[in-house]
Amino acid sequence: MDEEFSMEDPTQLLEAASDFAHYPGVLTDAAARDFLKRFPLPAIINALQTKFDVPDLENTLTACLERLFKTKFGASLIPQYMSFVQVGLQADSQAVRSLACKTVTCLLGELDNDTDVAAHLIIEYNVYPLLIDCLVNGNEQVAAAAMDAIKKLAYSPKGMEIIFPSAREDATDLRTLALHCSSLGRVRVMALVVKLFSVSRSAASIIYNLNLLNLLEAEITNADDTLVTLSVLELLYELAETEHSTEFFSKTNLLQLLSSIISNNSMEAILRSRAMTIIGRLLSKEIIFSFIDESCLKTVISSIDGRLKSLESSDRDECETALEALGYIGMSIPGAALLLSGSSPVARHVIYAAFDRQGPQGHGKQLAALHALGNICGETRSENNIILNSEAEENLRRLVYEVASKSSKFTPSGLFLSVLQHDSEIRLAGYRMISGLVARSWCLMEICSKQEIINMVIDPSTETTKIGMEARHNCCKAIHKALMQSSKLSLDPGLAAIDAKLQEAIAMGPYLVKKHVEAQPVVMTAERF
């Protein structure tokens, strides 16, 4: 089919493009070549730029071209059509602008091994400023596509030079943009900063040295718009998940600002909850403790502690978030030790909540506390990193016995059994808690003093879900390992009998397997007529 024919009658092109765009499988280079033999790329572009009065033509052609450029063959053609990309980035149509942004991403993917060529094309056709304009002024789909393209550009040194030139240019300087655009545009610029931060440590270093993280600090400091502040907190959450975030996070005031949000009673509860979650995620990484001094860490943790003290029963969602945050902090050795240090350890809230159901409404709080206690006790840590320092261990033991003495169960073993007698979610958290706690000799003896606990953890029929069966089985293995390391095993026949049962349960595996039933002969009396 020649170009003139397609321009006069786009119906056939529309049908073929729809089939190509919605092809259910992976499109091969051969399929792309075959399609372009029938409909040359200039014909498709001209049809897209011509305002035909054909329903859904634009959406169909942009979807078709998007899939075409994602093939290796289609991407190889992009350098020849950079003028189309340039025009597309400035189009009135949001669908065409989105396509143009995605085409830049495909171009950069095709030229990964030749960054000089890609950078030359980006500069020659003034693509980067146009991408920035799409980011700030495009609709949601266009902005997302532009951000992806800029992030892809940042993976090469030449690309980083384009994004962060030695001589700042006002038109594309991210700080200048953020200060002069709308609140939505400002959030998008900050989102781009976070995306670029995640690319590499060198990119993160450039962003830090250019004080671009201060944009997020300033937004939190001037938290007068809840929606904008929440958006920035979501970006901080994403930043906290980045591998190299701890080093640079610690050099900013972000931790202190998050603490101030948590301590501010006039703030929306959703903002306080998000701030607690971010702090928990950050402090779950052991490396951060080498960058932040202990006094700062104690201040941060005490903000969560203070929040827990002030919460009422009506604030149970926020309370659950606070407990979850403490659980994340307790995943690392230094974090767990901090939570269990001092005369009034922060972890006391976790331990009390773990064994205090407070009726049906307390289910979520108890569940969060049990999982948090499992983390603090070392269920997620390696075998050699479970036991904490002497002060933390003594406080842990003291608090568990203190809670037990104030309850109707009187002993820790009674508390553990009570947890395992609850619903499946609570039991799962209970298995995790016991798996971590049982590494302590006092807890091991408490566990072994209740035959009902042993019976539950060795019984494969106790759980019916895969995750529950695996948690029960892991609990079996943890108790067995603790017994094997105990000096009392060889001296106490009762403990040896328990260990034998545990070994048998471990050998059976985590899942319930029906015992093989031998065929039994059936004896019947002969029928008489």
**Rounded CA separation 145/104 (Å):** 9
User: What pLDDT is attached to residue 3?
Assistant: 43
pLDDT along the chain (529 residues), means of 10: 50 88 89 92 87 80 93 93 94 94 92 77 94 95 96 92 80 85 91 94 92 90 83 91 84 89 88 92 87 85 86 72 93 94 92 78 87 95 92 96 90 93 93 95 93 92 90 94 85 87 90 57 53
* Beta strand ranges found along 124-168 (DSSP E): none
Query: What's the rounded Cα separation, in Å, for the pair 386 and 381?
Result: 6
Q: Residue 491 has what pLDDT? A: 75
DSSP letters spanning 10-78? HHHHHHHHHHHHT-SSPPPHHHHHHHHHHS-HHHHHHHHHS----TTHHHHHHHHHHHHHHSHHHHHTG
- Alpha-carbon distance values, 188 to 93, 133, 136, 173, 182 (Å): 20, 11, 7, 14, 10
Cα separation, 394 vs 388, whole angstroms: 9
Distance CA 174, CA 200 (A): 18
3-class DSSP state of 168: coil
Which residue ranges make up each domain of the chain? 408-510
What is the Cα–Cα distance from 349 to 521, expressed in whole angstroms? Answer: 62
Tokens 């440590």 belong to which residue? 201
Tokens standing for residue 35: 């399609």
Residue 168: name the closest of 212, 124, 138 by CA.
212
For the record, the structure tokens of 398 come out as: 């003291």
CB-based contact 148:102 (threshold 8 Å): yes
Q: How large is the angle between the packed helices 412-420 and 390-405, nearest 10 degrees?
A: 70
d(CA 267, CA 224): 10
Count H helices and E strands in the chain, helices first: 32, 0
